[in-house]
């Protein structure tokens, strides 16, 4: 429950520390004194949007702080611990928020700064605020589903959990498929085109290396051929080495073996070895000439292939052939990866198809369970609305099937109501007046099991458009709701205020320099009677008004309403 609310420099509040009690807390006061200021302060504290004019004139910072006692809400305390909320103060949580003229906002939980979204999550567990203008929010499609589902059986809740988990898995699969789909086919086509172009150009490491080596030989062949031809001339021509060597050998054979100056056989043996070496050299040179001899057709072919290699390097902005070959390898690897992802995507799509069949089956089962829950909800709502002066009401939770699965099933929920005999049921938000809609929502809040975990319920002007006996019934319903929750209600009707366990009065004061608001506690019975009389329109402390106010209190206390 909300134990203490501290407001500083907020609108027309200088400083106010308000202590709140368990049970039914009523806030009353003259029109314009600032009753709804309390609701604005709470909405701001719990993460709502703020306006700069909420900072009191002449001040730079406004702040609101709330201390919540969770002694009787152990499950909620454990939930907060699981969210990682600082829990330095046993069974208590202090929420504070401040704004500056510069538009900056600070949010703290138990003294530690936290993101605004964390505050909102915690706020939704601590307080449920209903103020005028919240009807549409309260009756949006997601909330209608949530309200109806609080009446699901144990089997229905289990089915819903399975459906929600499976829906999440399918959404995750779809996100992965979406990520894989982004330009996937286009990229694969691009990579395939590049590799096809490389294949047509016969770009592979061994062949390109051989071509470039051959082209280098071609480029330098003219100089090499000149040397080769010179060698061949020296070796094979008529006056070449081999011809001369043959003549020398012939001449030596005409000398006797015992020639006195040198040994002709020994010289011949040496010359024959030289001749063998020269013949071997001649063969090598001949082969070299053949290697460096290019036909015009081959020269043209080499130039064309080298030109294609250079074109590809220019096209893909590569400086060297090594980079071209590396680029080819990268494209091959990327294509392989993309094709594997495409296979993975197809597996995901098949998996999604299987899960969708399971989801559809679960959705049908959930719809059946919701139809049962709708009957329970209908009976409970009609009883609760009769307690709020809808004597001949018909309330119908209508389920319609969606074509596509939604987060919480295939169902779309509408709340239809007929408030008078003979009227066809119509959507609640279309036909109910402000006061009627307030009472309908109060009935929902009073029976919805989902509210059992929220400690504090706040109602701002839920009495709009009602009076007389209806006001008694609303007050009685709020009183019963306060048996299990801390209820804080801002009202202008004495019939509702009379039911209070604790009565707070908002008063506005003015002096020559400023205006301020204060909250006073009406602890004495006489103070309450005077306030109830004022709410009836008595400004003169008329005896009859005071007597009627006392009768009103007695009537409420005796349960005669």
- Ordered DSSP codes for 60-108: SEEEEEEEEE-TT-HHHHHHHHHTT----STTEEEEEEEEETTS-EEEE
Helical (H) or strand (E) element with 426: strand 426-427
Q: Which of 124, 92, 94 is nearest to 107 (CA)?
A: 94
| pLDDT value of position 6 | 93
> pLDDT-based confidence at 509, cuts 50/70/90?
confident
Query: What CA–CA distance (Å, rounded) separates 220 from 521?
Result: 109
What is the percent of the chain where pLDDT is above 70? Answer: 89
Residue the block writes with tokens 């139809």? 371
pLDDT band at 11 (very low <50, low <70, confident <90, very high): confident
The closest of 482, 493, 473 to 390, measured between CA atoms, is 473
Residue 541's pLDDT is what?
62
Instruction: State the pLDDT confidence band at 370, using cuts at 50, 70 and 90.
Output: very high
User: What mean pLDDT, rounded, does the chain reach?
Assistant: 82
**3-state helix/strand/coil string of 106-161:** EEEECCEECCHHHHHHHHHHHEEEEECCCHHHHCCHHHHHHHHHCCCCHHHHHHHH
Can you tell me the distance from the alpha carbon of 459 to that of 457, in angstroms, rounded to the nearest whole number? 7
Asked if residues 129 and 36 have their Cβ atoms less than 8 Å apart, the reply is: no
Superfamily of domain 2-150+387-521 in CATH is P-loop containing nucleotide triphosphate hydrolases (3.40.50.300)
CB atoms closer than 10 angstroms to residue 336? 11
What are the phi and psi torsion angles at 396 (to 5°)? Answer: -130, 115
Give the per-residue pLDDT at 450.
57
Q: What is the DSSP letter of 56?
A: P
Q: How many helices (H) and strands (E) does the chain have?
A: 18, 15
What is the distance between the alpha carbons of residues 500 and 482, in angstroms, rounded to a whole number? 10
Q: What is the pLDDT of residue 225?
A: 61
pLDDT per position as a tens digit, 17-66: 999 999 999 999 887 777 778 888 888 888 888 888 888 888 889 999 99
Nearest Cα to Cα of residue 10 among 45, 107, 369, 1? 45
Whether residue 343 is predicted with pLDDT greater than 70 in this model: the reply is yes
Stretch(es) of the chain classified as CATH 3.40.50.300: 2-150+387-521
pLDDT at 368 over 90: yes
Strand pairing of 515-521 and 92-100? unpaired
Q: Which residue from 105, 94, 4 is spatially nearest to 61, judged by alpha carbons? A: 105
pLDDT per position as a tens digit, 441-495: 888 888 875 555 678 888 886 777 777 888 888 888 899 888 888 999 988 899 9
Predicted confidence (pLDDT) per residue in 277-317, tens digit: 888 888 887 777 666 655 557 667 777 788 888 888 888 88
Indicate the pTM of the whole model.
Answer: 0.65
Share of the chain above pLDDT 90, in %: 19
Joined tokens for residue 550: 């006392």
CA distance 341 to 353: 18
> Is the Cα torsion angle 50, 53, 57, 59 positive or negative in sign?
positive
Q: How confident is the model at residue 206 (pLDDT cuts 50, 70, 90)?
A: confident
pLDDT at 411: 93
* 349: its two tokens: 């799509």
Cα pseudo-dihedral 85, 86, 87, 92, rounded to 10: -80
Question: Which pLDDT value is given to residue 365?
Answer: 95
- Predicted confidence at residue 180, as pLDDT, reads 64
Q: What is the pLDDT of residue 8?
A: 92
pLDDT of res. 42: 86
**What are the pLDDT digits (tens) for 251-285?**
888 888 787 878 888 888 888 888 888 888 888 87
* DSSP single-letter state for residue 259: -
Which residues in 6-30 are b (16+ Cβ under 10 Å) and which e? Answer: bbbbbbbbeebebebebebbbbbbe
**pLDDT tens by residue, 156-191:** 999 999 999 999 888 888 787 776 665 566 777 787
pLDDT of residue 449: 58
- Give the gyration radius of the chain's Cα atoms: 48
Question: What's the chain's length in residues?
Answer: 561
Q: Which helix (H) or strand (E) holds 195?
A: helix 184-200
């Amino acid at each position: 429950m909300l134990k203490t609310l501290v407001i500083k420099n907020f609108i027309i509040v200088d400083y106010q520390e308000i202590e709140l009690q368990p049970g039914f807390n009523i806030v009353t006061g003259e029109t314009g004194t600032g009753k709804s200021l309390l609701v604005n302060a709470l909405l701001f504290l719990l993460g709502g949007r703020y306006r700069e004019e909420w900072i009191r004139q002449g001040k730079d910072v406004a702040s609101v702080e709330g201390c919540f006692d969770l002694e009787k809400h152990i499950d909620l305390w454990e939930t907060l611990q699981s969210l990682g909320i600082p829990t330095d103060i046993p069974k208590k949580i202090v929420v504070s928020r401040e704004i500056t003229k510069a538009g900056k906002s600070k949010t703290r939980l138990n003294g530690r700064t936290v993101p605004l979204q964390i505050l909102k999550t915690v706020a939704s567990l601590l307080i449920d605020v209903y103020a005028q203008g919240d009807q549409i929010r309260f009756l949006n499609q997601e909330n209608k589903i949530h309200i109806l589902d609080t009446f699901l059986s144990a089997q229905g809740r289990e089915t819903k959990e399975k459906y929600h988990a499976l829906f999440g898995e399918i959404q995750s699969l779809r996100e992965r498929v979406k990520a894989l789909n982004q330009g996937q086919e286009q990229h694969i086509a691009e990579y395939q085109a590049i590799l096809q172009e490389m294949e047509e150009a016969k770009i592979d490491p061994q062949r390109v290396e051989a071509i470039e080596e051959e082209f280098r030989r071609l480029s330098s062949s003219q100089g090499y051929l000149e040397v080769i031809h010179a060698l061949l001339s020296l070796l094979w021509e008529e006056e070449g080495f081999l011809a001369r060597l043959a003549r020398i050998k012939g001449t030596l054979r005409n000398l006797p073996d015992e020639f006195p100056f040198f040994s002709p056989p020994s010289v011949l043996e040496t010359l024959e070895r030289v001749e063998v070496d020269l013949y071997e050299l001649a063969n090598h040179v001949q082969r070299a000439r053949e290697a460096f001899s290019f036909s015009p057709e081959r020269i043209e072919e080499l130039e064309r292939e080298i030109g294609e290699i250079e074109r590809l390097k220019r096209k893909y902005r590569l400086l060297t052939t090594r980079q071209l070959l590396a680029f080819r390898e990268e494209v091959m690897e990327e294509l392989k990866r993309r094709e594997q992802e495409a296979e993975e995507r197809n597996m995901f799509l098949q998996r999604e198809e299987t899960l969708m069949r399971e989801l559809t089956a679960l959705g049908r089962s959930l719809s059946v369970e919701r139809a049962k829950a709708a009957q329970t909800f209908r009976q409970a709502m009609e009883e609760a609305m009769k307690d709020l002066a809808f004597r001949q009401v018909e309330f119908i939770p209508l389920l319609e099937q969606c074509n596509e699965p939604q987060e919480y099933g295939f169902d779309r929920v509408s709340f239809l109501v007929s408030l008078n005999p003979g009227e066809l049921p119509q959507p609640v938000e279309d036909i109910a007046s402000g006061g009627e809609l307030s009472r309908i929502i109060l009935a929902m809040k009073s029976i919805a099991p989902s509210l059992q975990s929220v400690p504090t319920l706040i109602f701002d002007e839920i009495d709009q458009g009602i009076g007389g006996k209806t006001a008694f019934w609303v007050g009685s319903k709020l009183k019963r709701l306060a048996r299990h929750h801390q209820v804080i209600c801002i009202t202008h009707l004495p019939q509702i205020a009379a039911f209070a366990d604790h009565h707070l009065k908002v008063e506005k004061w003015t002096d020559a320099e400023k205006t301020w608001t204060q909250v006073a506690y009406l602890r004495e019975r006489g103070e309450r009677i005077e306030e109830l009389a004022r709410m009836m329109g008595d400004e003169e402390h008329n005896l009859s008004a005071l007597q009627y106010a006392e009768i009103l209190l007695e009537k409420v206390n005796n349960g005669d309403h």
